[in-house]
Amino acid sequence: MSPIFKRENGYLFKIYSNEEERKHIHVIKAENEAKFWLEPVIEIAENYGFNNKEIRNITQIIEQYGDEFKHKFAEHIGKRIDD
C-alpha cells in the first residue's frame, strides 16, 4: 500500500511502500513526478517533468508540512517493518 499524505494545489504527496527508509516524499501532478529528501535537509532527489517554478512551489509546500511528512513517513515505515 502506498499512502497519500496530502493533496495540495493539484499536487499529490505520497511514498511508495517498497522503498528505502531514508525519509523522502514523492510528488505527482499529471504525468510529472519528483522525489524529495526530507532530511537532513529538504532537497530534490529526482525530477521527471516539473519545471523550476513548480519545483520551487513544491519545495515551499514541503517546507510548510515537512514535520508532518516526516512523522507520517516514520509511522508508515514502522508499520511496514512490523508486518
pLDDT in tens, 21-40: 789 999 999 999 999 999 99
Whole-number pLDDT of residue 1: 56
**CA pair distance 2, 7, nearest whole angstrom:** 14
Give the domain range for residue 37: 4-82
Number of domains in the chain: 1
* CB count in 10 Å sphere of residue 75: 11
- Give the residue among 19, 25, 10, 18 at the shortest CA–CA distance from 65: 25
Model confidence pTM above 0.85: yes
Residues of the chain with pLDDT under 50: 81-83
Torsion angle (degrees, nearest 10) of CA 82, 14, 37, 34: 140
